[in-house]
Structure 1
């Protein structure tokens, strides 16, 4: 059976899609508004960068979660600058606060859980398909038994003159 495929491309695609889709959904649900096609372009660029980073860096769940959170933050900054919604401290920082922060954090955690489950299911399904479609290997032909010293029998007669190893003792 050939070696199992890497899940890097799958992870990268899922991170890219989830960064874009969940950033727009979380931003809209938290009251920030939904973007039009022109406002969606920077979000798609951020999603593509996050997806490329996820497919090139081999990491576990923590790296996927970190990339999702960074993508959510960068998408929020892009959306808040284009849509013009106001934060309490909009003059000093475009970072999310309150309900917007919670929405983006929940989106990141949910996305990381979805990606983790998808990678496990992909490994399971691809392993089953590879096992079914793989050519059967040639059966092994067992050869003759090899003893460490072929000149000596595998048992030794005791020196007291017994006929075999399970014979009664010879009378003296």
Structure 2
């Protein structure tokens, strides 16, 4: 019994020591920089309203795309339930056929105008600037962990914004 206990303690100390070393030499990685916090509901594929979802976002590709991690709460152990991309309208509309856009994309200018989107954790001036930049983008949401599912089960759905408006051109 002592051997098992000693092994567990040694393993725990080894992990803790290794963790300290990692913390000292932390290099920037792709999980860094999700500093823009947005709260918004989504219109789920079945037509119901889901959320609101906490979006933690950062710019990628030189700022023409904003990449967001979606959570249902701000708890430290909150599960990642989806991903949303904010893509500059010109880029999205040039590269996504209209029928595909209407199925899976939404216009953030229309969504923001509904008043349902909140930019959190910044001054009102910063929130306004972020919302203005976001209004120039289209969004696509990938819901990876379905509501009430015990675990992610491989089903991916494409919610849109509440008040989504189909484009005709």
TM-score per shorter chain, which class?
under 0.3
- Larger RCO: Structure 1 or Structure 2 (Cα < 8 Å, ≥ 6 residues apart)? 1
The TM-score, its normalising length taken from structure 1, stands at: 0.21
Higher helix fraction (1 or 2): 1
Higher strand fraction (1 or 2): 2
The TM-score, its normalising length taken from structure 2, stands at: 0.21
The structure with more radius of gyration: 1
